[in-house]
Structure 1
Amino acid sequence: MPRLTASLRTQLVVGLAVGSLVWTAGTAYADKPVGGEAKPPPQGGSDGKGGLSASVSNIQVTYPSGGGGGDDKGGNLGTVDPDWKPPACWYEPAFTPEQLKKFVDTDSGGDVGIHESWWGKGLWTDHYRDGKPAENFDLQAARNSSAEGYKDYNLGKDGYFWRGVAPDPNASDSWDCGRIMFWVDAGQIPDDPNAPTPKTLAEYAYDKVKVPDTKVELKPEAKSTVNLPTWVWLDKGTFKDVKVRAELPNTGLWAETTAKPVALHLEPGTEDAEVFPASGDCEINDDGSIGTPYTKGSADKTPPCGIRYLRATDGTPYQLSASVTWQVSWEGSDGSGGDLPDGTFETTQDMNVQEIQSINR
C-alpha cells in the first residue's frame, strides 16, 4: 500500500508555500482540485459523482425567517471586520459502519481526509477492514501521528466515522484538520480542538445569510434637481430579520444566526453633493422604517435621510449607493450564543440630476 515517506512529507511541507500539490504514487493523492458548495448529501459527504469529497459538508441549512435565498434580488452579507473569517475546517460524521462497508465495496474513491485521497481498495480495506495502522496527514501542525486500525469497519458498533471538512481545501488553516477518518461512539463529540461546536455552525451559517436588495424610495422619483433635497426612505416591513439555522446531523448540534437591519448608509456617487445626516447613516426607526416619506410642501425642508446634489449630471447618471448594516447574533443548542461581526449589503441605482434656473411655486 503506497504511503507517504518522511522525505516526501518534507517536500510537501515546502511545497505548501507554492500552491496546491497532487501526489500520484499508486492510487493515493495528497491533494485535489478545490470543490464547490453543494447541497448536503444524505450521507458521507458525496461529491455527487460517486466520490467522497472533503469540500462538501453535511451541515443542513434552513431559513426559519427572512426567506430561503431563492430571490435573486439580494445577496450574501459582507462582513465589516476584515480580519474575521468563517471556520476553515472542522470534523463531522461521514459514515456508519454499514455505510462505510458499502462505500468500500461499491466505490471506495474519494477523500479519507482533507488533504489525502484514495481511489481503489488499498487504505480503505487495510486500515478500516483489516486493522492496519495508518498515518494521519497533518503537515501544518507537524504531528504526523499514527491512527490505529479498525476490524471489519466496526460493524456491530453504534457510532460514526468522522472526517475533516474544509469549504476551501487550499486555505492554509485547513491543514489543522489533518486526521484521516476516525471513529466516534454515538452521542459523542470527538475530543479535538477542531471538533464542531454550535459557534462553528453559527459562523458557517453567517456565510448563508441572504438579505434583500436595498433599492430605496426617492422623491423626486425620476430626476432630482440641483440644490433641492432628494428625500430617501424605506417603508416599514421592507427589511426584516433574517434567521438561518444550521444543523449537523447525528450530533445534536445546531445554531441559529440572526441578522437584524440597523442602519442605512448613503453614498451619493459624487463629491458635489450633501447627505442628510452628514454622516450618511440613516438609522432605522422603531417601526422598522428608515427616514421619513416625502409629503407635499416639503420640497425646501431638510429630510432626516436624503441627499442634495450640487451639480447636474451630464448624460451619465450618478450612482447612488445604498448599503444596509445588519447586526448579527447567534444562539446554539447548548445555550451558548453571542454576537458576530456586523454585515453589510450594498446596491446602486441611477440618479439623474437636472438644473433649473428658476422655480415657481
Structure 2
Amino acid sequence: MSSLVGGAAVNSAFAIDDIERGAGGSDDPVGGGADGENLMASVSHSKIVIKGAGGEQSKVRTGALASVDPNWVPPACWYEPVFSPKQLKSAVESGRGGYVNAHEWWSNGIFVDHYDKGEPDEDLNVNTGRRSTAKGYKNYNVGKDGMFWRSVVAKGHDFDRKAWDCGRIMFWQDAGTVPDDKHAPTPEVLASYAYDKIRVPDTEVELNPKARSTVNLPTWAWLDKGKFKDVKVRAELPGTGLWAETTAKPVGLHLEPGTKDAELHPGSGECAINGDGSIGTPYTKGQGSKTPPCGITYLRATSGKPYAMKASVTWEVSWEGSGGAKGDLPNGTFETTQDVNVQELQAVDR
C-alpha cells in the first residue's frame, strides 16, 4: 500500500549539482541511475540539465532575478522520464520501496505487482479527488523501447497544493514521444525552469561624489559598459529532444534615494540603458552643478545614519526552444542597497 508524503520527502532540498551530475550509469539514456537510491529520489530531483547559469565566468557577485509580475506562476510540477525497463527492474530488485510520483511512496509491493506482474493500480489527483485506473505492466516492459515517467515538483513548490496536479503513478512512454498530458514537459516549462537559474551581476552603481554627497548638489550615478550583458541559460531534458534557452537582457536602472528628501534624475528614477550597454554618464571634473542624466540630488544631510539608496536593474526575459517555440517571460529585477552619506555645505568647488 502507499504512504503519502509531503514536500519534506527524501531529497526535497534542491541542488544544481544533482541535476547536472545525475546518478550516472552506462545503461541510462537520460542520465539517471539504476539503483534503489534513485528510486527513492523524489520531489525536486529533476533530470533537467542546466547550461550557462550566468555570471560564472566573472568574479563579481551575482544573484537571482525576482519577477516583476506578482501574478506570474511558473509550473508547479511536470512529468519526466526516470527509468528504462532494465533500470526499473534493477532498482526494484534492490529490495527497497520508492516513489511512484513526487508525493507517493510505496513499499516494494506495487513495483512488483503493478510493474512486473501486470496488476492494475490507481492514479490520484488530490485536488479533484478523482481516481483513474492505470493498466499494469509485465516484467517492467523489458525488451520494449521507451521509458517510465513520473512527476517532479518545481523548486519552492514542495508544499504547493498545485503540485498534486501531477498525480499519475509512474507510467510508460514509448521512445521518441512525450505524454499527451497537460503536465507534460514543454519548451516553455523548461524556459520557466531556466528562469530560476539565471544569475545576473550585482547592481552596485558608481557614484560621484564617492565618499560623501552634498546637500542640493547632484550625485551622479552610472554603470560602466561591459558589465551588463545579456545572460543566457539553456535547459535540456535528456531523452526527450526538448530544450529551451532563456535570455535576460538588461533594459534599465531604477534608483530609490532612501529618503523622501531627494530629487531623482530623471524624475521617474528610471535610467535607460545606453547603446553601448552602459547606464548613465560617468562624472567628469567640472560637472558638479550640472543635472546628471542619471542620479540623485539630496535635500537634507544625513545625521549619523546613512541613507540606504536602492539600485535595481530591470532585465527583459525572452526564450526560444525546440520545435521553433519561443515567447516572453515576465521581466525580472535584481536589487542592491548602498549607503550614502550626505553633508551640509553652503559652497563647494567640484
Question: Cα RMSD between the aligned structures?
Answer: 1.9
Find 1:164's aligned residue among 151, 154, 162: 151
- The DSSP-based 3-state class of the residue aligned with 1:165 is strand
- Give CA deviations for 1:234-260 in whole Å, capped at 9, x if unaligned: 110111111000000100000000000
Q: Is the 8 A contact 1:266 1:322 kept in 2?
A: yes
Structure 1 contact 91–195 (Cα < 8 Å) conserved: yes
Partner SS for 2:114: helix
Unpaired runs of 5+ residues, structure 1, are 3-27
Match status 1:151 vs 2:151 = no
Q: SS where residue 93 of structure 2 aligns?
A: helix
CA 299–107 in structure 1, closer or farther in 2 if over 3 Å, else same: farther
**Cα pair distance change 1:149/1:71, threshold 3 Å:** farther
CA distance in structure 2 between the aligned counterparts of 1:164 and 1:230, rounded to whole angstroms: 53
Q: Is the 8 A contact 1:258 1:329 kept in 2?
A: yes
Which residue does 1:258 correspond to in 2? 247
The one-character-per-residue Cα deviations of 1:225-282 (angstroms, maximum 9, x if unpaired) are: 1111000001101111110000001000000000000000000000011010000000
Given residue 154 of structure 1, which amino acid in structure 2 is its aligned partner?
N
The answer on 1:283 being equivalent to 2:272 is yes
Letter of the 2:13 partner, please give it: G
Q: Percent same amino acid among aligned pairs?
A: 60
Q: 1:320 to 1:47 in 2, by over 3 A?
A: farther
Measured after TM superposition, the shift of residue 49 of structure 1 is: 7.9
Q: Secondary structure at the match of 2:332?
A: strand
- CA displacement at 1:118 relative to structure 2: 1.4
- CA–CA distance in structure 1, aligned partners of residues 221 and 327 of structure 2: 33
Residue in structure 2 matched with residue 340 of structure 1 by the alignment: 329
Is residue 36 of structure 1 aligned with residue 17 of structure 2? no
Is the counterpart of residue 131 in structure 1 residue 127 in structure 2? no
Does the Cα contact within 8 Å between 1:292 and 1:304 map onto a contact in 2? yes
Per-residue deviation, residues 173-199 of structure 1 (Å, max 9, x unmatched): 112111000000100001111111100
* Uncovered stretches (5+) of structure 2, i.e. residues with no partner: 23-30
**Cα distance 1:32–1:110, how it changes in 2: closer, same or farther (>3 A)?**
farther
1:114 to 102, 105, 115: 102
SS at match of 1:199: helix
- Residue 52 of structure 1 corresponds to 41
* Mapping of residues 92-111 of structure 1, within 5 Å: 92-111=80-99
Corresponding residue SS for 1:201: helix
Number of residue-to-residue matches in the alignment: 333
Q: 2:71 is matched with which residue?
A: 83
Q: Does 1:315 align with 2:304?
A: yes
The aligned residue for residue 215 of structure 1 is 204
Q: Indicate if the aligned counterparts of 1:215 and 1:348 stay in contact, CA closer than 8 A.
A: yes
- Report the more deviating stretch, 256-265 or 33-42: 33-42
CA distance in 2, matches of 1:359, 1:244: 48
Displacement after TM superposition at 1:30 (Å): 1.1
Instruction: Work out whether 1:236 is the aligned partner of 2:225.
Output: yes
Aligned to 2:176: 187
Displacement of 1:72:
7.5
- Asked whether the 8 Å contact 2:83–2:149 carries over to 1, the reply is yes
Q: 1:248 to 1:75 in 2, by over 3 A?
A: same
Cross-structure match for 1:7: none
TM-score by length of 2: 0.91
CA deviation vs aligned residue, 1:52-77 (integer Å, no higher than 9, x gap):
2132111011117x334996722110
> Secondary structure of 1:149's match?
coil
Distance 2:137 2:208 in 1: 71
Deviations 1:23-45 (A, max 9, x none): xxxxx311234312122123169
